[in-house]
Structure 1
Amino acid sequence: MKQLTLVIWLFPVVFMIHDFEEIIFMRPWFKKRKDELQKRFPRFAKKIAQSAKRSTAAFAVGVLEIFTLLAAFNVLAYCFDWYWLWYMQFAAFAVHLVFHLVQSIAMRGYVPAMVTSVLALPYCVWAFMVVAQLNMFTVLQSVLLTMAGLVVISVNMIAAFKLMSCFDQYFNNLGD
């Protein structure tokens, strides 16, 4: 159980290290590659243009919102032995890391969060091994929890992007 406790409490740390890379590099990377992204991925051109305009501070506010939910879930999972709640968000995060690696392959180079995705993978493998050794969930439960986590993260991302837009709009209006 000590390993599980460590795995649970390392998750917010790994998440924030990963998101620091995104916060620091996302805007300059988008600005430099906006035209290339719009040419190569025209179906996503509008979203790319919106992301390129977003301030670093607004992006950090979105990360804060996501981190707050993650931290709350982590505390609830630990305090009430709701390990399914931790696993749901952790497994979705692991999928998220793989998605960054796929993005890197599609872009044929660096994308923000690629480095920390690679560095976080050993933690994810270890966490999955700890969960498997403890026989915490069946394969079906693991798949369902991962899918539920992806849904929760997707819905929360919509809220975070809305918050980012509100933040940028508010601070842009202060300058008028």
Structure 2
Amino acid sequence: MGRVPAGVAWGLLAAWVVHDAEELATMARWTQQARSRLEERLPGVRLEVSQAHVNVAIGLMGGVMAAASALGARTGGRSAVFQAALAGFGMHGVVHLAQAAVYRGYTPGVVTAPVVVIPYSVWAWRRLRRAGVPMRGPGAAVVAFPLVLAGVHALAHALTGGHRHGRRPSRHR
């Protein structure tokens, strides 16, 4: 009682891999194509990431998700880190749907959000609940998710030198 099989926790990493494969394949190209539309809607915001940045950021986040999944597997789902990552992953799926709705079109990750991210998250929470695993509220994830995401992107930016195609991005339009 109070534990779920390790496969439930490792499912977080598996669902993340499927989801982030979509982001890996589409994010850099999408930001280049959507740049003018985004800058028009969000003055002062410059959004364009290189494929190198995407690769590094996804690799770093993969480390975070692997660690959270390992903790979840080791503790039968009781780990606060695992539960925060699970809550953050579910929120991430909802954010993808909201982004696509606001953008009124495809955004990277929106295909797998409703068919992988959200269903896995709901299923995993139900498994935890049925097994009687003590559940922590989403508070930690609400705080940690944007901080971890910002940290991952800041570190990816630093590691890739903020370069696009090997050159510094142009500051003029």
TM range (shorter): 0.7 to 0.9
Distance 2:6 2:75 in 1: 13
Distance 1:155 1:170 in 2: 19
RMSD: 2.2
Structure with the larger helix share? 1
Residue 4 of structure 2 contacts residue 128 of structure 2 at CA under 8 Å; is this kept in 1?
A: no
Matched, 1:151 2:143: yes
| Structure 1 residue corresponding to 2:159, chosen from 167, 172, 175 | 167
Which 4+ stretches in 1 moved above 6 angstroms? none
Matched, 1:112 2:108: yes
- Please state how far the C-alpha of 1:170 moved relative to its aligned partner: 8.0
Residue 72 of structure 2 contacts residue 79 of structure 2 at CA under 8 Å; is this kept in 1?
A: yes
Residue 4 of structure 1 contacts residue 131 of structure 1 at CA under 8 Å; is this kept in 2?
A: no
- Please state how far the C-alpha of 1:12 moved relative to its aligned partner: 0.3
Unpaired segments of 5 or more residues in structure 2? 168-173
Unpaired segments of 5 or more residues in structure 1? none
TM-score normalised over the length of structure 1: 0.81
Distance 2:155 2:80 in 1: 27
Q: Which residue of 2 aligns with 1:124?
A: 121
* 2:160 counterpart SS class: helix
- Please state how far the C-alpha of 1:90 moved relative to its aligned partner: 0.5
Matched, 1:75 2:87: no
Compared CA separation, residues 41 and 125, structure 1 to 2 (3 A): same
Distance 2:86 2:80 in 1: 10
Residue 92 of structure 1 contacts residue 147 of structure 1 at CA under 8 Å; is this kept in 2?
A: no
Q: Which amino acid aligns with 1:86?
A: F
Residues 1-176 of structure 1 correspond to what in structure 2 (within 5 A)?
4-42=5-43, 45-46=45-46, 48=47, 52=48, 54-81=49-76, 82-120=78-116, 121-137=118-134, 141-142=136-137, 146-169=138-161, 172=166
**Paired positions, count:** 162
Identity %: 24
